[in-house]
Amino acid sequence: MKQSEKIISGLQQDIVLPDIVLQKADDAFSRILAENEKGKQPAASQGRGKNSRHKKRKRFPVWARGLTAAAAVLIAAFGICAANPVMAAKIPIIGHLFSLLQDKISFSGDYTGYAEPLDGNVQTDPETGGDSSVTGNRGTSSYSQTVNGVTVTLSEVYCNQEALNISLIIEGNEDFQDKIMTNQFGKQSLFLDMDTDFSFRDTPVMAGSGNIEGSFLDARTYAGVWRLDLKDVLFDVSEIDRMTSEAEAKGEEFVVNQEVLDKYGKMLTLPDEFTLNIDLKRIEGMLANPPEIDWGMSKEELEALSDEDFQALHDRIFEKYGLNKHPNAMQHYWFEGPWTFTLPIKVNTANNRTISVNDVNEAGIGLESVTVTPFEIHINEVYLNHDKADYFPVVLDAQGKYIDSAGSDAAFLPVADHDISRITVYLCDYLEYMDELKGLKYEDNFRELLEERAVYKKEVVLE
């Protein structure tokens, strides 16, 4: 599949483009990739995490930037039957969202005893004195705000040493279920455009993607869980940001590579308790039925255009339809905020444990430790004189079953439906894994292939 087709297919039915437009775009894409390979790749604050495998992510050309922002919301959400007996009985859900969604989210499991209601108790309906329900009465809460007729209610929080999870409900000012795109998995998803400020950091941090997993409870009410891997929050790059700003002020280029991250970045300690400030600026979703673009000429006429004329046409079209802005009415449905919240967070370390491994092979590749929580495994790799982006971790459970990553980082793995009494960790060459092994991960001989191809292997007993 061509690069341009990958982008468009990833967006599903986002924007309908003629074949010749894809061809033109693919040519431009290939040229830019070739140019990027020749020069340095400066990194400012984008590569926040020391553990990021950002090196392999290709930079999109100008023509595609109006489309790629929309792709961020294409993650799997999870359906809840409209005839759900819980909903039919109108059992209160504020303070109980994890119970409703815990089998539907990527890091699934029983959150009972782990997720805590933010108010510390069941909310009360001011009219009846009973529990508030999904009818719209939220009771009185500092964790529920209405802006422009849209109500956002934060329900519960669960934070362990690896991830922060917050459940929430979004009540629109109109029916919007049918406006949100259903992705290739038959699910609907929303995206939270927000800033987060953690009290144990000196500066705010742009961490996580803002994607929430969940589903519509009715035509205008969406319930979901936002999960944030804490690795980026705990990795402080403020000194690197300062150095980058100084270089830019002097008109100099400052390249952030692994050596710079290792030297000037520092890991913070997660406190037992902290405060999180959330500034939720916008809630977004992909349009289910986006309008088509009128390019103003036939396929043959488009094909006859020179690269320069095509780029000029492209720029005019993007300006005309607002595709150079995010969000835009051609691709997105959204609610404007802001909704602001201040949350007290207590870290729950129950059933969290870290197994030290400290094993490195002759090539300087190995495993430092494995952290286990009730819902995830975190693989902490070691790469001495190697770029982490050049390798990919693969983990098999005690039964030899492949454990698929559920988040943006392949080192974070859900434990549900797996025997994790022991695991086997394989570290593979990134390109070899992506090109040759990834498509075989569910085949019977996958373990044998890993035994032959992996550059490192280690079995770790977890129980």
Residue in this structure with the two tokens 């209160």, named with its chain if needed? 92
In a shared domain, residues 371 and 427: yes
Kindly state whether residue 381 falls inside one of the protein's structural domains.
Answer: yes
Kindly state whether residue 76 falls inside one of the protein's structural domains.
Answer: no
Kindly state whether residue 77 falls inside one of the protein's structural domains.
Answer: no
3-state helix/strand/coil string of the chain: CCHHHHHHHHCCCCCCCCHHHHHHHHHHHHHHHHHHHHCCCCCCCCCCCCCCCHHHCCCCCHHHHHHHHHHCCCCCCCCCCCCCHHHHCCCCCCCCHHHHHCCCCCCCCCCCCCCEECCCCCCECCCCCCECCCCCCCCCCCCEEEECCEEEEEEEEEECCCEEEEEEEEECCCCCHHHECECCCCCECEEEEEEEEECCCCCCECCCCCEEEEEEEECCEEEEEEEEECHHHHEECHHHHHHHHHHHHCCCCCCCCHHHHHHHCEECCCCCEEEEEEEEEEEEEEECCCCCCCCCCCHHHHHHCCHHHHHHHHHHHHHHHCCCCCCCCCCEEEEEEEEEEEEEEEECCCCCEEEEEEEECCCCEEEEEEEECCCEEEEEEEECCCCHHHEEEEEECCCCCECCCCCCCCCEEECCCCCCCEEEEEEEEHHHHHHHHHHHCCCCCHHHHHHHHCCEEEEEECC
Kindly state whether residue 190 falls inside one of the protein's structural domains.
Answer: yes
Q: Alpha-carbon distance 456 to 366, whole Å?
A: 7
Query: Of the residues 300, 315, 346, which one is the last residue of a structural domain?
Result: 346
In a shared domain, residues 308 and 446: no
Q: Please state the domain count of the chain.
A: 3
pLDDT of residue 458: 97
In a shared domain, residues 31 and 177: no
The residues, ordered by sequence, that sit 6+ positions from 416 with a Cβ below 8 Å of its Cβ are 107, 108, 109, 375
Query: Which CATH number fits the domain that encloses residue 193?
Result: 2.60.40.1630
In a shared domain, residues 172 and 260: no
Q: Alpha-carbon distance 378 to 323, whole Å?
A: 38
CA geometry: angle at 19 spanning 13 and 24, to 5°?
110
pLDDT of residue 281: 95
In a shared domain, residues 241 and 217: no
pLDDT of residue 119: 76
Q: Alpha-carbon distance 190 to 284, whole Å?
A: 6
In a shared domain, residues 97 and 148: yes
Q: Alpha-carbon distance 154 to 333, whole Å?
A: 21
Q: Alpha-carbon distance 442 to 447, whole Å?
A: 10
User: Integer distance in angstroms from the first to the last C-alpha of the chain?
Assistant: 44
| φ and ψ at residue 422, rounded to 5 degrees | -155, 155
CA geometry: angle at 218 spanning 338 and 120, to 5°?
60
Q: Which domain holds residue 211?
A: 85-230+270-284+336-346
Tokens of 314: 């492209």
Kindly state whether residue 79 falls inside one of the protein's structural domains.
Answer: no
pLDDT of residue 176: 97
In a shared domain, residues 33 and 19: yes
In a shared domain, residues 249 and 226: no
Kindly state whether residue 80 falls inside one of the protein's structural domains.
Answer: no
In a shared domain, residues 222 and 178: yes
> How many residues would you count in the chain?
463
In a shared domain, residues 131 and 212: yes
pLDDT of residue 23: 56
Kindly state whether residue 164 falls inside one of the protein's structural domains.
Answer: yes
Low-confidence ranges of the chain (pLDDT < 70): 1-92, 120-141, 207-208
In a shared domain, residues 43 and 99: no
In a shared domain, residues 93 and 182: yes
Kindly state whether residue 78 falls inside one of the protein's structural domains.
Answer: no
The residues, ordered by sequence, that sit 6+ positions from 254 with a Cβ below 8 Å of its Cβ are 42, 44, 243, 244, 246, 247, 248
pLDDT of residue 27: 56
